[in-house]
Amino acid sequence: MVEQIPEFSVSEISAAIKHIVENTFAQVRVRGEIFGCKRADSGHYYLSLKDENAVLSAVCWRGVASTLLIKPEDGLEIVATGRVTTFSGKSSYQLVIEKMEVAGTGALLKLLEERKQKFALEGLFDIAHKKSIPFLPEVIGVVTSPTGAVIRDIIHRITDRFPRRIIVWPSLVQGDGAAEQIAAAIKGFNDLPKGGNIPRPDVLIIARGGGSLEDLWCFNEETVVRAVYNSEIPIISAVGHETDTMLIDYVADVRAPTPTGAAEFAVPVKSELASKLMLHGGRMINSIHRLYNENKNYLDALGRGIPNLEQILSENVQKFDDRIERLVLAFKNYLNAKMHCLGLNEIKPFYVTNIIDRKSESLEGLARRLDSVSVDSVLKRGFAWIKNSKGQTVYKADEARRSHSLDITFADGIVKTRPIGKKNELQGDLFD
C-alpha cells in the first residue's frame, strides 16, 4: 500500500515556511560585512550581509534608518539586530534590521584609515589649500545643534573675548542625515551674497561635543569632507574632545581641540589688544618726541656753525676798499720810483711823457670807476642802506613791514625807524 504524501499549495508552503522562520528567528543578531548597499528614494536601505560562506539579504526601513548612528555603506562590518522574514513573491528570505552597530571599533578605524588615505591622495589635506583665519572677523558662522552646551559655550566665549555677530545654522550632528545637513549648511553659508540681508560670515565654526566614534561618524563622511574642502570661507573644526580626530579636522583650515577653543581661535581678547595699543601708542609718542628733540638739537648745532652773513659782507667791503686804496698808492709809488730812476724830472723825453700821461689817465679812470661803486659813493647818489634789528640787510618792502625796527643809513647819517601798522608809514629819529 502506497503511503499517502500530504499535498500543499504553494501558498500553504510559503505560509508554513514564513511561520517557522519568523517564529524561530523573531529576534536575532547577525554579524556580517555590508555589500550592495543602496538607498531608495523612499529612504529605505536595501543591502546584503556576507561572511566567508553565505549571503543574507537585508532591509532597513526609513523610520529605523533615521535613527542609525552609522550610515550603512559597503565594506563596513556590522552587527545587525532584527528579525528574519520571508518574501513569498520571490521565495526568498531577508533580515529586517531594527538596530545596527559596528562590529567593534576596529572595523570603524579600518574604514576611517581607508578614507583618510583616499582623501590624502586626492590632496584634500594639503597645507597649500589651507586658508588663514581673519584676525578680527565681523561675522562668525556656526554649524551645530541649536540646543545644548556647545553653542552656549561658543557664544559665551566669543562675547567674553571680543563680541562679534554670530549666525547659527542649525544642523543635526549625529545619526542619519547629519552629514547631509552639515554639508548643506557649509554650502549655504558660502552661497550667501555679500552685502545681502543676511551677512556672509568671515569664518565658520563646525562644532560638536564629545561622544563615541559612532556618535561622531558623520564628520568622517565624504560629503562633509568635500564640503569643507570646497568652502571659500575659512573653517575651524571643533568636533569632540581633544583626543578625538575626525577627517573634518584634517581638511579644515584650523583644528580646535574643543568648541571653546574654536571660539578662542576665531577672535582675539579685546582687553589685551587695548593694552597693546596703549603700550605701542606710548612708545610711538616717545619716539616722536625723541626724534623731534634730536632734529632740533641738530638744527641748532648747524645754526651755530653758520657765520653772520652781514658781518662777512661788511668785512669784505672793508677789505675791498683797503685793497683799492693800497693799489692806487702802489701805482703812484711805482711810477715815482720809475721816474726817479730814469731822471724824468730832468730829462723828460717826449715819448716817456706820453706813456706816463696815458697810464696816468687810465689809472685815474680806474680809480674813478672803483670809487663810483663804493658804499659811500652809492649813498651820496641818493640811495639808502636798510637793515633790520638783527643787522641784516632788508631787500623787500614786505620784510620791512614785518621788522620790529629798521636802521636806514644815508650818506650823512642813520635813521632808526619802526613800522606803525600801515604800508609805507614809518616813524623814527635821526641819529648822526
What would the mean pLDDT of 96-106 be, rounded to a whole number? 82
Burial code of 221-240, b = ≥16 C-beta within 10 A, e = fewer? bebbbbbbbebebbbbbbbb
pLDDT surpassing 50 at residue 431? no
Q: Which of 158, 264, 172, 164 is nearest to 215 (CA)?
A: 172
Q: What residue spans in the chain does CATH classification 2.40.50.140 cover? A: 10-103
The mean pLDDT of 254-277, rounded to a whole number, is 91
The share of the chain scoring above pLDDT 90, in percent, equals: 38
What's the confidence (pLDDT) of residue 213?
84
Q: What average pLDDT score do residues 348-367 get?
A: 72
pLDDT band at 432 (very low <50, low <70, confident <90, very high): very low
Report strand pairing: 385-388 vs 45-50.
unpaired
Query: What pLDDT does residue 372 have?
Result: 72
Tell me the per-residue pLDDT of 121-156, one tens digit each, with 9 for 90 and over: 999 999 999 999 999 999 999 999 998 899 999 999
Q: How confident is the model at residue 430 (pLDDT cuts 50, 70, 90)?
A: very low
Q: Which residue has the higher pLDDT, 100 or 425?
A: 100
> Residue 356 pLDDT > 80, yes or no?
no
Nearest to 124 by CA among 10, 290, 247: 247
pLDDT at 376 over 80: no
Length of the chain: 432
Give the pLDDT score at 420: 62
At 336, list the grid cell. 715815482
pLDDT > 50? residue 279: yes
Domain ranges in the chain with CATH number 3.40.50.261: 112-126+137-268
Residue that wins the pLDDT comparison between 296 and 68: 296
pLDDT at 346: 53
Give the C-alpha separation, 172 to 180, whole Å.
Answer: 9
For the segment 402-430, the average pLDDT, to the nearest whole number, is: 70
Can you give the pTM of this predicted structure? 0.54
Residue 275 has pLDDT above 50, yes or no: yes
**What average pLDDT does the segment 24-44 reach?**
90
Q: What share of the chain is helix, strand, coil (3-state, %, to 5)?
A: 45, 20, 30
Quick check: 267 and 136 in contact, CB under 8 A?
A: yes
Higher pLDDT, 230 or 297: 230
Distance CA 235, CA 185 (A): 12
Please indicate whether residue 331 or residue 423 has the higher confidence score (pLDDT). 331
The topology under which CATH files domain 10-103 is OB fold (Dihydrolipoamide Acetyltransferase, E2P) (2.40.50)
The reported pLDDT for the residue numbered 343 is 65
User: How large a percentage of the chain has pLDDT more than 70?
Assistant: 93
Q: Residue 422 above 70 pLDDT?
A: no
* pLDDT tops 50 at residue 424: no
pLDDT the model gives residue 428: 47
Mean pLDDT value of segment 62-73: 83
The 8-class DSSP code of residue 63 comes to H
Cβ contact 26:61 at 8 Å: no
For the cut 90, the answer to whether the pLDDT of residue 166 exceeds it is: yes
Q: Does residue 252 register a pLDDT over 50?
A: yes
User: What's residue 429's pLDDT?
Assistant: 45
- Mean pLDDT of all residues belonging to the chain: 85
Tell me the mean pLDDT in the region 413-419: 82
Instruction: List pLDDT tens digits, range 380-404.
Output: 778 888 888 888 888 888 888 888 8
**Which residues are registered as beta bridge partners of 409?**
385, 414
Q: 149 versus 110: which is more confidently predicted?
A: 149
**Euclidean distance between CA atoms 178 and 183, whole angstroms:** 9
- CA 137 to CA 262: how far, in whole Å? 13
Whole-number pLDDT of residue 347? 52
* Better-predicted residue by pLDDT, 94 or 106: 94
pLDDT over 80 at 164, yes or no: yes
From CA 336, how far away is CA 366, in angstroms rounded? 19
Q: Where are the beta strands (DSSP E) in 134-272?
A: 139-144, 165-170, 203-208, 235-239, 254-255
CATH number for the domain formed by residue range(s) 112-126+137-268: 3.40.50.261
